[in-house]
Amino acid sequence: MTAGRSARTTDACEERKERVRAMAGIKDGTSNGNGTTKPVAQRLLATATRLFAEQGYDRTSVQEIVDTAGVTKGALYHYFGSKEDLLHEVYGRVLRLQQERLDRFADADAPVEQRLRDAAADVVVTTIENLDDTKIFFRSMHHLSPEKDKQVRAERRRYHERFRALIEEGQRTGVFTADVPADLVVDYHFGSVHHLGTWYREDGPLSPQQVADHLAGLLLRALRP
């Protein structure tokens, strides 16, 4: 390789690192842009998410993650233990957020139709707001160990069961039709949610809330007696 080509390659790598840092909210590898230090674990997770989304989990090395985040390998292994742990946390943080919000909607003092509508719309919005995380997970889930895969499936099942319980509550009280099995309704809605990453674009004609309102409306119409 000539000196000129080597220099161009180095420059391209540095430009990509700076782009990833900017998209991950990292300034010079240390600051979040308001003069305060971004927590190391947060920087690592944001950087890994961006790199996994851009080039794939299997094509991203630990060295590339720590170099771009501006930390040492020791720091990564202190917080996450392995690259696989980072992948697990990419999806885990979104699922925890969605579970907390679903529990709040489900426990609210409101008619079951309103609680289901709010929950159905919210999972669409939070998925779009964390679209990279969702896309990474569905593309790279097969890289998880059997133990972590089992854990993730159990967490997703818990979420779906709480969502299904809202539908079943409405069916028992006659608010929703009982002609359609609740499990089928859950699969119908989350099939749409899981495919958001294949077509939704930030610069497209619909805002996250508009998409959420449309999909929640379709769900409620499917349940009308």
Q: 196: pLDDT confidence band, cut at 50, 70 and 90?
A: very high
Please name each of the domains of the chain with its CATH number. Answer: 3-79 (1.10.10.60), 83-222 (1.10.357.10)
The candidate with the shortest Cα–Cα distance to 84, out of 153, 42, 129, 147, is 147
Least confident of 24-28, 110-114, 152-156, 177-181: 24-28
Length, in residues, of the chain = 225
- Which segment of 136-145, 148-157, 182-191 scores lowest on mean pLDDT? 136-145
Task: Report residue 149 as tokens.
Answer: 């895969």
The yes-or-no verdict on residue 134 having pLDDT over 90 is no
Position 3 scores a pLDDT of 54
Query: 46 or 19: which carries more pLDDT confidence?
Result: 46
Q: Which of 24-28, 99-103, 169-173, 184-188 has the lowest mean pLDDT?
A: 24-28
pTM to 2 decimals? 0.80
